[in-house]
Amino acid sequence: MNILEVKNLRILDSNTGKVIIYNSSFHLKQGSCLAIVGESGSGKSMTCRSIMRLNKSWLHQSGDILFKGENLNDLSEKAMRKKRGRNLCMILQNGMSAFDPSCVIGVHLKETLVEHFGWSNKEMEEKMKYAMESVMLKNPIETMNKYPHELSGGMLQRIMIALALVLEPDIIIADEPTTALDTISQFEVVEQFIKLRERMGCSMIFVSHDLGVVRAIADEVLVMKDGEIIEREKSKTIFSEPEHEYTKHLVSTRLALSNHFKKIMGRV
């Protein structure tokens, strides 16, 4: 069963008239992880933001984005806000940009949970404390009283994963969640994403240029180049028998750079 179907997605920059995404069509199976790979500027992040309807106002998107059969492109902004977080949860590349720098972390977490649940402050605190401990964050209450700049990038990513555990969304979209992290933090965060899938059985779209990470987490891989989908296959097939010349290039060059990560993951 497909939980998400994207049909003929087209994104046009109304300022320049340039088409950025060309009639992309793909689907996400219930409970599976689809990785989107490609070089910078290929359209990976913009595709994810279009699902969440978070692209800038001058980027006009058309086509159908069907979540459980409902077309997200037809929803009002108010209805879409209800979907974000509770049904569709996006974890960004830079943890710092996900939080209001003027507030302690706990304020952001509670504001998000209040939007979707009728819980008391004590309930929200208890659920976040348990979730943060489960992603190996020590002293969760103390952490929730810190400002974003007082925490490392790896800690901020794990806080977003903990929030996803509490929200229990149907789909998690992770947009380059390990790019800004050092190697050890990358390992810890990817391990938490793998455990997140095991715990929740949720569907996931994982955007990355690191094929070592993709190989560790993805069931299927979608390859983008210059705003177009050029190949889609099961993860094992992409790495062993890529068809498109561009995919062969990605695998041969990027995989060599990612060997250190595979060794750390213990998957070589």
Residue pLDDT, tens place only, 137-181: 899 999 999 999 999 888 898 898 899 989 999 999 999 887 767
**CB-hemisphere CA count at 13 Å for 192?**
30
Question: Which pair of tokens denotes residue 148?
Answer: 């974003």
Rounded to two decimals, the pTM is 0.87
- Tell me, letter by letter, the H, E, C secondary structure of 126-148: HHHHHHHHHCCCCCHHHHHCCCH
CB 63 within 8 A of CB 7: yes
Confidence at residue 213, expressed as pLDDT on a 0 to 100 scale: 84
Average pLDDT (129-134) is 91
Closest CA to 217 of 157, 261, 169: 261
**Helix (H/G/I), strand (E/B), else coil: 247:** helix
Inter-CA distances, 147 with 98, 107, 241, Å? 12, 10, 47
Confidence at residue 21, expressed as pLDDT on a 0 to 100 scale: 95
pLDDT tens for 166-176 read: 999 999 999 98
